[in-house]
Amino acid sequence: MEVILVRHAVAHERNSARWPNDALRPLTAAGREKFRSAARGLARWLPKSAVILTSPYVRARDTAVLLSKAARRRKPIECSELAGSAAALEAFDLLRARKEKTLVLVGHEPNLGEFLSAALGGKSAGLSVEFKKGGAACVEFTKKIEPGQATLRWMLPPRVLRALR
């Protein structure tokens, strides 16, 4: 299974007065615009069969919708395992429950970095991995979908995704 990890685009700063529930914090206008361009670059490399799964948080869901439109894919599927409050290792259970060859997971830091660290090096690998907002990485599980069983295929910051044609 090929798994493409995408961190949500640039969102507004945390502000408990405006968004008492952080899950409702939206993308900025500039974040939307920059990610539209990055999504066009990423979309060119997505297999037709790719399915997009997203955190239910507004900023991640809106990022996933921008990607699905650029890639001309079906509407993203919300998954609680990708929420910012979820444990990073919950994503392994989510992947094992799916049958697609390629999945795109749209989520948050530090969850994506922790998932990537575990996927590559095992549960206690503790690799330092940081996703830029709007950045993406691709790993492949060829046998079991377990910690330590993935191979990193690529990792790209948003500026490179925007430059892809």
Parse the chain into domains and list their residue ranges: 2-163
CA angle, 32 then 36 then 39, to 5°: 130
Over residues 6-11, the mean pLDDT reads 98
Residue 106 and residue 76 in contact, taking contact as beta carbons nearer than 8 Å: yes
Q: What is the pLDDT of residues 125-143, one digit of tens each?
A: 878 888 999 999 999 999 9
Per-residue pLDDT tens for 52-96? 999 999 999 999 999 999 999 999 999 999 998 899 899 999 999
Burial label for 33, CB within 10 Å (0-12, 13-18, 19+), is middle
Which letter does DSSP use for residue 73 in this model? -
Average pLDDT of the segment spanning 30-42: 97
Asked if the 2-163 domain carries CATH number 3.40.50.1240, the reply is yes
User: Across the strands, what pairs with 140?
Assistant: 2, 151
- What the block records as the tokens of 109 is 């830091």
As a whole number, the mean pLDDT across the chain is 95
Is pLDDT of 123 > 90? no
